[in-house]
């Protein structure tokens, strides 16, 4: 009598961590599963968010709502541009902060964290105040959004690249120079390839931050609409199911990127 109970108790104890882990995963993935499911929804009414029937129409006509597609394109454009600019500037800044001793270096190290720690609404509002005060109040739109996105992505890029660079053994660069590599060759043959994973990670992070952002964007967008702003705008009137298609595509793309990276790493390790 006591023995089966004891074994059950032990089984539960041994698998508790696994069980809790699964629960956390479920908690995380249920909303995403709903998005994927709803991308195949054939709704009876736009006002009620409910699965009424299966269809692939949403996938066949993703741009049934032209304004949504415009918003997606705009978000991708801003995301790519902001990523390129923030990654470039952030990588240069990270090199400066790790490799050079200059006045204000420790202050700069501290200030880099501020945009990450400050509430977005504060950043967005102060940026808007800055634009208005500089006489750009009438110019709010694509370019002000881009400036805002580069601003908040920069901190994340600097932190990510700096961590990678700080972990880099500097005798590797000395070895390269010892083996007849000029400073430029040393950088492109040794430093850059070794820091590249950090830069790539920073770029991916910057893109998703930019694509995602609502609060700062909303304050500095003027009449321009990005994808998150579009979703927010139509949420009151009923969301078109194509929004879920965009969401699912983003999900699949992220998973594909992560998988590709993982496969590459495994193939390298296996060789």
Partner 1 sequence: MSQVAEQSPGGGAVPAAGEETAYDGLRLRQVTKRFGGFTAVETLDLDVPRGSFFALLGPSGCGKTTTLRMVAGLETPTSGAIELAGHDITYAKPYRRPVNTVFQNYALFPHLDIFENVAFGLRRRKRKDVADAVHRMLELVELESQAKKKPAQLSGGQQQRVALARALINEPEVLLLDEPLGALDLKLRRAMQIEIKRIQVEVGLTFVHVTHDQEEAMTMADTVAVMNAGVIEQMGAPAELYENPRSTFVANFLGQSNLIEGRVLRRDADVVSVDMQGITVSVPAARAHTDGDRGWVGIRPEKVLIGEPGEELDAPGNTIPGGVISDVSFVGVSTQYLVRMPWGQELQVFSQNTGRHRIFRHGEPVELSWRPEYAFLLDISQDAHAGAEEGEE
Positions touching partner 1 (CB under 8 A) are 169, 171-172, 174-182, 185, 189-190, 193-194, 268, 271
CB of 99 to partner 1, least distance (A): 16
CB 179 to partner 1: min, Å: 4
Pick from 88, 99, 264, 86: nearest CA to 186: 99
Give the nearer residue to partner 1 in terms of CB position, either 7 or 182. 182
Q: Alpha-carbon distance 102 to 259, whole Å?
A: 41
Please state the closest distance from residue 186 (CB atom) to partner 1, in A: 8
- Name the residue nearer to partner 1 (CB basis): 19 or 179: 179
Residue among 151, 157, 164 at smallest CA distance from 198:
164
Between residues 151 and 177, which has the closer beta carbon with respect to partner 1? 177
Report the distance separating Cα 155 and Cα 149, nearest Å.
11
Cβ closest to partner 1, residue 173 vs residue 213: 173
Q: How far is the CB of 266 from partner 1 (least distance, A)?
A: 14
Give whichever of 136 and 163 is closer to partner 1, judged by the CB atom: 163
Q: Which residues contact 190 (CB under 8 A, 6 or more apart)?
A: 172, 173, 176, 181
3-state secondary structure of 41: strand
How far apart are CB 262 and partner 1 at their closest, in Å?
A: 18
CA distance 240 to 195: 42
- Nearest distance, CB of residue 269 and partner 1, angstroms: 9
Rg (CA), the chain: 24
Three-state secondary structure of 98-144: HHCCCCCHHHHHHHHHHHHHCCHHHHHHHHHHHHHHCCCHHHCCHHH
Distance from C-alpha of 25 to C-alpha of 86, rounded to nearest angstrom: 32
Closer to partner 1 by CB, 13 or 268: give it.
268
């Amino acid at each position: 009598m006591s023995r089966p109970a004891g074994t059950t108790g032990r089984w539960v104890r041994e698998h508790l961590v696994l069980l809790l882990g699964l629960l956390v995963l479920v908690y995380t993935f249920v909303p995403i599963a709903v998005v994927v499911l709803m991308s195949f929804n054939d709704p009876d009414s736009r006002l009620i968010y409910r699965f009424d029937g299966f269809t692939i129409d949403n996938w066949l006509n993703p741009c049934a709502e032209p304004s949504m597609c415009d918003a997606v394109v705009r978000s991708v454009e801003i995301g790519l541009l902001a990523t390129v600019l923030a990654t470039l500037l952030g990588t240069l800044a990270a090199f400066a902060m790790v490799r050079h001793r200059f006045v204000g270096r420790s202050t700069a190290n501290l200030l880099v964290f501020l945009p990450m720690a400050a509430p977005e609404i504060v950043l967005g509002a102060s940026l808007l105040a800055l634009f208005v005060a500089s006489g750009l109040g009438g110019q709010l739109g694509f370019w002000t959004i881009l400036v805002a996105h580069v601003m908040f992505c920069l901190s994340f890029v600097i932190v990510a690249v700096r961590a990678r660079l700080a972990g880099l053994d500097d005798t590797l660069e000395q070895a390269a120079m010892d083996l007849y590599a000029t400073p430029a060759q040393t950088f492109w043959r040794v430093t850059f390839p070794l820091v590249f994973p950090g830069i790539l990670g920073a770029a991916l992070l910057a893109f998703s931050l930019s694509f995602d952002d609502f609060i700062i964007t909303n304050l500095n967008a003027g009449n321009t609409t990005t994808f998150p702003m579009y979703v927010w705008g139509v949420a009151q009137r009923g969301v078109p199911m194509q929004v879920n298609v965009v969401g699912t595509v983003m999900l699949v793309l992220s998973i594909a990127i992560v998988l590709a990276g993982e496969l590459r790493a495994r193939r390298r390790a296996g060789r």
